[in-house]
Amino acid sequence: MRHASKRRAVWREHLKPEFLKVNPLGKVPALRDGDFLVAERQPVDAVQLEQLLGKLTPALQHLDQEVLAARPFLATEQVSLADLMAFTELMQQGPSMGLELYLDLLSASCRAVYIFARKNSIPFDFQFVDLLKGHHHSKEYIEINPLRKLPSLKDGTFVLSESVAILFYLCRKYSAPSHWYPPDLHTRARVDEFMAWQHTAIQLPMNKILWIKLLIPMIAGEEVPAEKTEQVLAEVKNNLKLFEEKFLQEKMFITGDNISLADLVALVEMMQELEGQRGTRRRTQCFLVSRPGSWMPPPPAGLSGNCPEASKVSFQPKCLFSRAPDRWLCRAAPWLWPVAGNHNVFLSSSKLAEWRMRVELAIGSGLFWEAHDRLVKLVEWDCSTLDPMVKERICDLLQKFK
């Protein structure tokens, strides 16, 4: 009984004189900023939230981009008291103040939005919409986006589709660093130009490769005619050449010295092609070219002949391999994977391979590979769990390729 009365005393603190000086209404939440007092949830949220987030965001960015880039946990290589405190503290932030992102990271457009939001520490609720189970055709999702496409954004009552529009919206609303979407007229026009061109020149053909080389054979049990495959590969090759000559040229990134939305979108879409070119359900073997001064396992016997172009790639950052378990090694150097069809977008050009590496490092390898985890595991997926309606559509798609 003594415990019960102690609890009751704690509950009624909002009615005590000390608190009533802060909020005469006797309610929580309440905010005091110097002499400024405000109560009621909505004005607290609306008026002060930006300021409060502005104080929290730099600290989170420091943790994300500096501390966690160097080691897996906040203090050491293993979980410690520091991680426990941080984890429980950041859970207080609770739901994302209304921003929801409807994503399936199999889709390149979704990955671009995911990586951008995470990289810029934008709080959001991840709403998983499983493309392979046909959830994008469910009644609940159609209410969000009648076009049944991913990604979608819901910010309060404002609903938005199209990854390019979502990226621009997040950039502006959360005041992302200006290099993502530069304010200079000409540089911004360059980003707009790429974002417009990539829809049909990069996104469409890269997705076609994923379908033709991996998904259709896996699901329908039948290969797409070789003539059609060669046609799509030729289109991809031509467009990548245009990408290098017109957009990348001799620069570090598309807009110059810093990563922008254009690089992010370009790379995640090229990864669709890469995954498609893995072609089969068996685990892809990998090998690494050894280089003086960096620790790397020697290539497995017999594999060095599979990928002769790998020796031409000179850029091999040590940080990817220094702490990585085996599964990271398999993913760390995708430009070295032997691939079906003797075509790998990053092997065909060392300039592209080096640009790819720069973009990954600018994003952060941990975040980049976390976003691509579902895509990388697609070859191991048991397609008997595929939604029958989705399977039927895929078989129809095969007929169109014939």
In the complex, what is the shortest distance from the CB of residue 225 to another protein, in angstroms, rounded to a whole number? 18
Closer residue to another protein in complex, CB, 24/146: 146
Closer residue to another protein in complex, CB, 23/109: 109
Three-state DSSP at 159 gives: strand
Closer residue to another protein in complex, CB, 172/283: 172
DSSP secondary structure, 48-104, as one string: IHHHHHHHHHHHHHHIIIIIHHHSSSSSSSS--HHHHHHHHHHHTT-S-TTEEEEE-
In the complex, what is the shortest distance from the CB of residue 350 to another protein, in angstroms, rounded to a whole number? 21
Binding site for another protein (CB under 8 A): 146-147, 158, 160-165, 168-169, 172-173, 185-186, 188-190, 192-193, 195-197, 199-201, 204, 242, 245-246
Closer residue to another protein in complex, CB, 245/326: 245
Closer residue to another protein in complex, CB, 187/348: 187
Degrees to nearest 5, angle at CA 148 with 138 and 215: 90
Do strands 30-33 and 99-103 pair parallel, antiparallel, or not at all (unpaired)? unpaired
State the alpha helices, DSSP H only, in 131-184: 139-144, 163-173
- The single-letter code of the amino acid at 330 is C
* Cis, bond preceding 151 (omega within 30 deg of 0): yes
The residue among 360, 353, 325, 377 whose CA lies nearest residue 69 is 360
Task: Measure CA of the first residue to CA of the last residue in the chain; give whole Å.
Answer: 79
Closer residue to another protein in complex, CB, 153/313: 153
